[in-house]
């Protein structure tokens, strides 16, 4: 068994080093810019390690249900099949469940890739029941 | 990407030769510094000092042999000619001071005046000092675009012909080459095929990259329209739609024009300067533009994966393509 720090903790440590020591050291320079980008990339990797297992299970189940596909297909195959159905016009926004499926998959992707993206934040807020409606 | 010291000295020496042509007998080059750019295209700032006055300038250049991933671009000499023509037409642009010649030893490119202002989209959208500029900017953009679209095309250098069909096909081919499976992009392609408005009868000059990030903005508003390298002939509504793509709003979702203004102000400025708005076409180009930026993100990650460009930014930007997926869902399948 490997010792701690875990991979996630190592990524956290390196991202903090980049943000706290490399970015301030080179204000406005290309190095500062790339250090910030690098720290953000490590955060993406860390979020994916935490969130992807559950998200991919949801994505797998949603596409299998939408396509009526073989549940043994892997996620890459399922995505290719879904793309083909849309590309050939067999599925479109009138297909029941398609929009909901794409929204769910996309929200899960954003939770890993860019959870502070404003469109994502607004989609989460809009999905919550308005307290005044209760 | 960092420039090496040898690069700096070589550029400084080249600029000194250029200065001798631009300001014979009195030009001394100083303050040479690299501002931005990758391997294929660079932007440098410098000053020519003569006695007590100093002229702030910009060098845009492509070192020899560079220029992959530049298939859609016009080239720097053409860009210089377009900027000069736009200036004549009353579009705010920097004045071109010199077009590089082989004997300058700097590759291809040009020297232009260095305007003062801000180009970083996030600051233009948020900083308090641009509050007054934000009130007029959308309208000014409309006016500038109407003037660009009214420029007589017979006077322009030869440009590629664009349009919704050609652009859609180009993006589709590019996306297929990346080999990635993105159901949301497929949905967007399907919608774009079904709603394609067809080419306009009379193609006009389209800037091609008119967005927050390529606009020089001062406290009083628009100072300069930059980066003409994607100019082509086509549908004028392409420029209006691209300016409204959510990726350039920097979080200000409710100000569709670059995150700084209302659509009505853009349209009003455009009409006031003689332009005719087709809101349906603008929407079409906004959808296509959103998809296009997603495919650009994908292309940059692809360049990293293929080993052509190995800087961390290229790898990381691949994970921004999903931003355009959620924006496409908002446009096409709002909940």
Q: What percent of chain A has pLDDT over 90?
A: 87
Contacts of A74 by beta carbon, 8 Å cutoff, 6+ apart: none
Instruction: Work out the minimum CA distance from A6 to partner chain B, whole angstroms.
Output: 22
- pLDDT of B3 strictly over 50: no
Cβ-nearest to A79 among B181, B320, B323: B181
pLDDT digits (tens, 9 = 90+) for B4-25: 545 788 899 999 999 988 877 7
What ranges do the domains of chain B cover?
5-113, 121-332
Side-chain half-sphere CA neighbours of A6 within 13 A: 5
pLDDT band at B309 (very low <50, low <70, confident <90, very high): confident
DSSP-assigned letter for residue B34: E
pLDDT digits (tens, 9 = 90+) for B133-156: 999 999 999 999 999 999 999 999
Chain B CB within 8 Å of residue A31 CB:
yes
What ranges do the domains of chain A cover?
7-126
- What does DSSP say about strands B221-225 and B28-37: parallel, antiparallel, or unpaired? unpaired
* CATH (one of 3.90.320, 3.30.200, 2.60.40, 3.30.110) for B5-113: 3.30.200
b/e for B62-72, b at 16 or more Cβ within 10 A? bbeebbeeeee
Residue B330: list chain A partners with CB under 8 A. Answer: 119, 123
Residue B172: list chain A partners with CB under 8 A. Answer: none
At residue B2, the pLDDT reads 45
Cβ-nearest to A119 among B181, B183, B253: B253
Question: CB–CB of B74/B62 below 8 Å?
Answer: no
- pLDDT of B68 strictly over 50: no
User: In angstroms, what CA-CA distances link B213 with A20, B7, B132, B148, B162?
Assistant: 27, 27, 18, 18, 22
Mark yes or no for CB contact A41/B184 under 8 Å. Answer: no
Q: Which of B74, B68, B100 is nearest to B86 (CA)?
A: B74
Which of A29, A30, A38, A55 has the highest number of chain B CBs within 10 A, making it the mutation to test binding with B? A30
Question: CB–CB of B225/B92 below 8 Å?
Answer: yes
Average pLDDT score over chain B: 93
Instruction: Work out the minimum CA distance from B184 to partner chain A, whole angstroms.
Output: 7
- pLDDT of B273 strictly over 70: yes
At residue A133, the pLDDT reads 59
Name the residue of chain B whose CA is nearest to A120's CA. Answer: B326
Chain A CB within 8 Å of residue B296 CB:
no
Chain A CB within 8 Å of residue B195 CB:
no
pLDDT band at B1 (very low <50, low <70, confident <90, very high): very low
Question: CB–CB of A109/A123 below 8 Å?
Answer: no
User: In angstroms, what CA-CA distances link B141 with B97, B160, B200, B225, B262?
Assistant: 25, 24, 22, 9, 11
- Cβ neighbour number for residue B9 with a 10 Å cutoff: 11
Residue B319: list chain A partners with CB under 8 A. Answer: 41, 44, 112-114
Contacts of A109 by beta carbon, 8 Å cutoff, 6+ apart: A55, B322, B325
Instruction: Work out the minimum CA distance from B183 to partner chain A, whole angstroms.
Output: 5
At residue B38, the pLDDT reads 58
Chain B CB within 8 Å of residue A75 CB:
no
Mark yes or no for CB contact B319/A114 under 8 Å. Answer: yes
Chain B CB within 8 Å of residue A21 CB:
no
ipTM of the predicted structure? 0.94
Considering only residues B67 and B321, tell me which one the structure prediction assigns the higher pLDDT.
B321
Cβ-nearest to B316 among A41, A92, A110: A41
Chain B CB within 8 Å of residue A126 CB:
yes
Comparing A60-74, B8-22, B39-53, B303-317, the range with the smallest average pLDDT is: B39-53
Please say whether the dihedral angle defined by the alpha carbons of residues B199, B257, B230 and B330, taken in this order, is positive or negative: negative
pLDDT band at A37 (very low <50, low <70, confident <90, very high): very high
Residue B181: list chain A partners with CB under 8 A. Answer: 76, 79-80, 82-83
> What is the Cα–Cα distance from A14 to A48, expressed in whole angstroms?
16
Mark yes or no for CB contact B325/A106 under 8 Å. Answer: yes
pLDDT digits (tens, 9 = 90+) for B90-111: 999 999 999 999 999 999 999 9
Q: Is B127 strand, coil or helix?
A: coil
Residue A105: list chain B partners with CB under 8 A. Answer: 183
Residue B7: list chain A partners with CB under 8 A. Answer: none
Q: Do domains B5-113 and B121-332 have the same CATH topology?
A: no
The pTM of this model reads: 0.94
Residue B32 parent element (H or E): strand B28-37
Fold of B121-332: Aminoglycoside 3'-phosphotransferase; Chain: A, domain 2 (3.90.1200)
- What does DSSP say about strands B221-225 and B215-218: parallel, antiparallel, or unpaired? antiparallel
- Cβ neighbour number for residue A122 with a 10 Å cutoff: 15
């Amino acid at each position: 068994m490997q010792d701690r720090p875990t991979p996630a903790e190592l990524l956290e440590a390196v991202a903090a080093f980049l943000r706290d020591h490399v970015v301030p050291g080179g204000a406005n320079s290309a190095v500062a810019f790339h250090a910030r980008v690098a720290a953000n990339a490590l955060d993406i990797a860390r979020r994916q390690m935490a969130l992807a297992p559950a998200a991919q299970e949801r994505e797998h189940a949603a596409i299998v249900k939408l396509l009526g596909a073989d549940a043994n297909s892997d996620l890459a195959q399922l995505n290719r099949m879904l793309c083909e159905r849309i590309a050939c016009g067999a599925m479109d926004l009138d297909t029941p469940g398609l929009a909901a499926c794409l929204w769910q998959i996309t929200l899960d992707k954003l939770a890993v890739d860019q959870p502070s993206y404003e469109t994502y934040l607004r989609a989460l807020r809009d999905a919550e029941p308005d307290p005044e409606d209760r | 990407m960092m420039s090496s010291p040898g690069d700096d000295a070589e550029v400084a020496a080249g600029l000194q030769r250029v200065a001798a042509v631009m300001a014979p007998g009195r030009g001394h080059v100083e303050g040479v510094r690299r501002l931005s750019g990758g391997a294929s295209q660079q932007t440098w700032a410098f000053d020519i000092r003569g006695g007590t006055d100093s002229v702030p300038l910009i060098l845009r250049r492509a070192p020899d042999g560079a220029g992959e991933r530049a298939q859609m671009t016009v080239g720097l000499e053409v860009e210089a000619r377009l900027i000069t023509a736009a200036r004549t037409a009353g579009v705010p642009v920097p004045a071109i001071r010199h077009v590089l010649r082989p004997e300058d030893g700097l590759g291809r490119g040009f020297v232009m005046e260095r305007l003062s202002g801000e180009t970083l989209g996030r600051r233009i959208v948020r900083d308090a000092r641009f509050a007054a500029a934000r009130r007029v900017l959308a309208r000014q953009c409309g006016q500038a675009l109407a003037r660009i679209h009214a420029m007589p095309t017979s006077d322009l250098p030869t440009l590629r012909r664009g349009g919704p069909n050609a652009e859609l096909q180009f993006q589709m081919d590019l996306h297929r080459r990346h080999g990635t499976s993105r159901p949301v992009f497929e949905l967007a392609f399907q919608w774009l095929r079904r709603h394609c408005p067809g080419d306009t009868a009379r193609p006009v000059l389209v800037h091609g990259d008119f967005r927050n990030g390529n606009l020089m903005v001062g406290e009083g508003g628009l100072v300069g329209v930059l980066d003409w390298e994607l100019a082509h002939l086509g549908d004028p509504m392409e420029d209006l739609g691209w300016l409204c793509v959510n990726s350039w709003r920097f979080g200000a979702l409710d100000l569709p024009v670059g995150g700084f203004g209302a659509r009505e102000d853009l349209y009003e400025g455009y009409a006031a300067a003689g332009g005719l708005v087709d809101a349906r076409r603008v929407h079409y180009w906004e959808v296509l533009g959103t998809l296009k930026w997603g495919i650009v993100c994908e292309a940059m990650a692809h360049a990293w994966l293929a080993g052509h460009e190995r800087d961390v930014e290229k790898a990381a930007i691949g994970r921004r393509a999903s931003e355009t997926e959620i924006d496409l869902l908002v446009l096409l399948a709002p909940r």
